[in-house]
Amino acid sequence: MTTPAAIEIAGLTKSYGDHAVLEGVDLVVRAGTIHALLGSNGAGKTTVVRILSTLLRPDGGRAAVAGHDVVTAAAAVRESISLTGQFAAVDAILTGRENLVLIAQLRRVDDAGGVADALLARFDLTDVAGQRVATYSGGLRRRLDIAMSLIGDPPVLFLDEPTTGLDPQSRLEVWRTVRELAGHGTTVLLTTQYLDEAEQLADRIAVLHDGRIIADGTLAELKALLPPTTVEYVEKQPSLEEIFLAIVGHDGASPMETR
């Protein structure tokens, strides 16, 4: 492989008391790609993310982010990453722009205002920049949260269930944002329980189950694991999500006529 690894995990183990959660996780995430980590509730996805972001010590095995070991070089890891958890860490009293400026000042970035304005433009938030975050929809908040996490240009971004609890339109907005990031060269490790999210976004998909990665590959490679399905002739009904999106309009701009 030519692309360097942004994240390398080998034989990672973690137990809580006598409850073994990770029992030898191996995973390589190439720089500049979106890698989805799929798993059911309690599979250990957040545990992996917390270990990679140095919030939790592993029991055994190794993990490195941007070439730095998460245990022996935790400070260097923290400088290379950003973590966005499930609940948007934005201040609702402040406006979108004020949130960005605040974080830029905390991170001692030069020209905090300029950095904030550039991120507002990049994430299509300029129109709402002067409004208090309390008035934002869940999707807007999430987008602002992701924009805030990019201050200082961390090369590796962890998104832990970025669209849980969002409506379909907001999910599409967040997906667009994540794609944009990967287009700029950011490496994204994304955990999700939504199979369609992984299908839509990820270059590669890893499945965490019973403490290990039981499958890891492109969507095409994962599909090849199953025998081809036999075709039956049935009328294809649109899914509720497709109907919802058709009625309200994908981008919220041009709703389908309903009479």
Identity of the residue, 87 or 244, whose beta carbon is nearer to ligand ATP in the bound complex: 87
Q: Mark residues 34-53: x for contact with ligand ATP by CB under 6 A, - for none.
A: -----x-xxxxxxx------
Q: What residue type is 37 in one-letter code?
A: L
In whole angstroms, the minimum distance from the beta carbon of 17 to ligand ATP comes to 7
Identity of the residue, 45 or 97, whose beta carbon is nearer to Mg ion in the bound complex: 45
Query: DSSP states of 195-255 as a string?
Result: HHHHHHH-SEEEEEETTEEEEEE-HHHHHTTSPPPPP-----PPPHHHHHHHHH-TTSSSP
Question: Which of 7, 9, 12, 21: binder of ligand ATP (CB under 6 A)?
Answer: 21
Identity of the residue, 23 or 167, whose beta carbon is nearer to ligand ATP in the bound complex: 23
Q: Mark residues 211-250: x for contact with ligand ATP by CB under 6 A, - for none.
A: ----------------------------------------
* Phi, psi (deg, nearest 5) at residue 7: -135, 130
Asked if 79 and 121 count as a contact pair (C-beta separation under 8 A), the reply is no
Asked if 4 and 17 count as a contact pair (C-beta separation under 8 A), the reply is no
Q: Mark residues 145-184: x for contact with ligand ATP by CB under 6 A, - for none.
A: ----------------------------------------
Positions that interact with ligand ATP (CB under 6 A): 16, 21, 39, 41-47, 193
